[in-house]
Amino acid sequence: MAFCSPHTTTSLRSPCTTIPNSGFRQNQVILFTTRSSRRSTTRHGARTFQVSCAVEKPIVIGLAADSGCGKSTFMRRLTSVFGGAAEPPKGGNPDSNTLISDTTTVICLDDYHSLDRTGRKEKGVTALDPKANDFDLMYEQVKAIKEGKAIEKPIYNHVTGLLDPAELIQPPKIFVIEGLHPMYDERVRDLLDFSIYLDISNEVKFAWKIQRDMAERGHSLESIKASIEARKPDFDAFIDPQKQYADAVIEVLPTQLIPDDNEGKVLRVKLIMKEGVKFFNPVYLFDEGSTINWIPCGRKLTCSYPGIKFSYGPDTYFGQEVSVLEMDGQFDRLDELIYVESHLSNLSTKFYGEVTQQMLKHADFPGSNNGTGLFQTIVGLKIRDLYEQIIAERAGVPAEAAKV
């Protein structure tokens, strides 16, 4: 097993080129030293790789979903995997939608609305309609970030419904664009290194909205139904079709463990993983490529009614080969999740039990007792692994040398 130590030194003869507005903090020579027990032509078996600053250019992740479908919770789980709390830009607009951590920057694509709330009402369009969004600017700015350049990104103020003055965004290591349309425009879609779609079924979405709007906001059932129906045509036309382009889809459905359940409290969740995606190996249960049904409840996993059921197997999704991992039911004790984790492979964890640790760390997050939290955590770990592999390939070093 190789042990890697990264060394960063400033050099007057650095091969890195200074790029105006590139976002690089300094010219650097990054040396990765790999030590191995095997014989080597270099002294003490150490091989040194020199990495240019070009590896600092961000990777870009896209997350698509309708409003109120868990994008914010997913982003909190993702940024936690990379370390550091995600916070709004310091000293900036208090109503900014941007979140920044040590490694990641997450922007909300609502910031590319070309019409404010009043403008949309006057023109009779919803925020889901492409006519209410500036895809040219979205493409230009995502492309600039991917090239390592800072941008002046607009801000859509969700409190006032107005378009606020722009904010400065520096290129991070990982740049996440989340919102309604990250995969709608082909130009933007082609810039993504990995893409995810959160697919909440109509039944679950309706149950969630009733729970929130009736219990918390005092809305009537009729007004909730009218609101959902008003959005549905644009959702079906412009948002839902994006899932065919996603590398991973988290699909949330009503449980099949409780007959005729319509409360949306117990969920059946699928993780649909596209085959053949570079740097992404789908997770599998027990035996890769087999069809598995597993009911793990017993002495090793506490399960109250209606229990838990896992499934795994190959399938097709919009004509493409996929692997599908499914969980129906919910956990009673998160500390026992390690039993389930031990039967899953290709998790891209750095140590045994990392999935369980992440779930326990955020036990108060929505979905932490069911497949939504579990699969969001797993996808976060897979994105970390993808990032490390991309950086290693750009640098021309072994993947172990780029571990974060």
Enter the pTM of the model: 0.83
The confidence band for 71, taking pLDDT boundaries of 50, 70 and 90, is confident
pLDDT for residue 18: 32
Backbone angles phi, psi at 258, to 5 degrees: -120, 115
The encoded tokens of residue 301 equal 């996993």
What is the arithmetic mean of pLDDT over 1-6? Answer: 37
Residue boundaries of the structural domains of the chain: 58-198, 247-404
Cβ within 8 Å of residue 50, ≥6 positions away: 15, 29, 30, 31
φ/ψ of residue 293, rounded to 5: -125, 130
Angle at which helices 354-361 and 71-82 cross, to 10°? 120
Mean pLDDT, rounded, of the chain: 84
Q: Which of 42-51, 172-181, 287-296, 391-400 has the lowest mean pLDDT?
A: 42-51
pLDDT digits (tens, 9 = 90+) for 44-70: 444 444 433 444 789 999 999 988 777
The predicted pLDDT at position 70 comes to 78
Mean pLDDT of all residues in 138-142: 98
Residues of the chain with pLDDT > 90: what percent?
62
Question: What is the predicted pLDDT for the residue at 401?
Answer: 60
* Residue with the larger pLDDT of the pair 351 and 299: 351
Q: Determine the topology of domain 58-198 in CATH.
A: Rossmann fold (3.40.50)
The predicted pLDDT at position 38 comes to: 38
Residue 88's pLDDT is 86
Distance (Å, whole) CA 28 – CA 326: 45
Q: Between the CA of residue 2 and those of 5, 34, 35, 45, 391, what are the distances in Å?
A: 10, 6, 6, 10, 18
